[in-house]
């Protein structure tokens, strides 16, 4: 979706100060300065696989996935686990078109999507609320690096970098309806 007006509109909408403030109020996370994301599609039967990871790095605070699928798919459930024990502590389906799941990123947590099954693909706009940089600087940075090609991809393109962050005491997961 590089250069796609739909993607640009999603990115612009997600980089709204009022949205940042609402997300900060709900999750009690530090100040959000930008959102970076991409559209991905998981097609059943093509071997798309999402291994456990934490998405830490690049000043990421929270992960989010907005469902863009117009049909209900099977599978593709967000699982969150304790990294040390391996115990799954949350499982969240996200099958309503326009619904979003927001979840905390932390050193002690990992997440993944279960495989999508059946005949319907999962399409989502996913990414991260970040503490830095601000949105205009993010756009300049991406332009300099030629990162536009990162816009569209499957789950294997998600980062698995790690940095030190305390595990959350509360507010692990927030689910809300968006764009309905």
Q: pLDDT tens digits for 104-140?
A: 999 999 999 999 999 999 999 999 999 999 998 888 8
Report the DSSP beta bridge partners of residue 172: none
DSSP 8-state code for residue 11: H
Whole-number pLDDT of residue 141 = 84
Distance, in Å, from the CA atom of 41 to the CA atom of 122, rounded to the nearest integer, reads 5
Domain ranges across the chain: 5-177
| Mean pLDDT (whole number) for 35-50 | 90
H-helix or E-strand spanning residue 111: strand 109-113
Q: What does the pLDDT read at residue 3?
A: 60
Residue 89: CB atoms within 10 Å: 12
Residue 144 has a pLDDT of 81
Quick: pLDDT tens for 137-173.
Answer: 888 888 887 744 444 433 333 333 333 333 333 444 4
Give the residue with greater pLDDT, 9 vs 158: 9
Helix H segments across the chain? 5-14, 17-27, 135-145
Note the pTM of the prediction, 2 decimals.
0.77
Select from 3.10.450.100, 2.60.120.620, 3.30.70.3270, 3.40.50.620 the CATH code of 5-177: 2.60.120.620
| E strands, 8-85, in order | 34-42, 60-67, 74-75, 78-82
Dihedral of alpha carbons 150, 100, 48, 1, sign? negative
């Amino acid at each position: 979706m590089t250069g796609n007006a739909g993607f640009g509109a999603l990115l612009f909408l997600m980089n709204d100060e009022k949205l940042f403030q609402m997300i900060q109020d709900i999750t009690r996370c530090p100040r959000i300065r930008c959102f970076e994301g991409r559209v991905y599609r998981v097609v059943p039967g093509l071997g798309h696989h999402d291994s456990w990871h934490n998405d830490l790095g690049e000043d990421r605070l929270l992960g989010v996935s907005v469902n863009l699928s117009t049909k209900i798919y099977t599978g593709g459930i967000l699982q969150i686990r304790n990294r040390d024990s391996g115990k799954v502590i949350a499982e969240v389906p996200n099958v309503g078109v326009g619904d979003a799941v927001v979840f905390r990123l932390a050193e002690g947590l990992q997440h993944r999507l279960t495989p999508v099954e059946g005949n319907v693909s999962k399409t989502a706009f996913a990414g991260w609320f970040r503490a830095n940089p601000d949105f205009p600087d993010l756009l300049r940075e991406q332009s300099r690096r030629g990162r536009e090609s990162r816009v569209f991809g499957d789950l294997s393109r998600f980062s698995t970098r790690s940095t030190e962050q305390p595990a959350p005491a509360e507010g692990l997961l927030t689910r809300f309806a968006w764009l309905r």
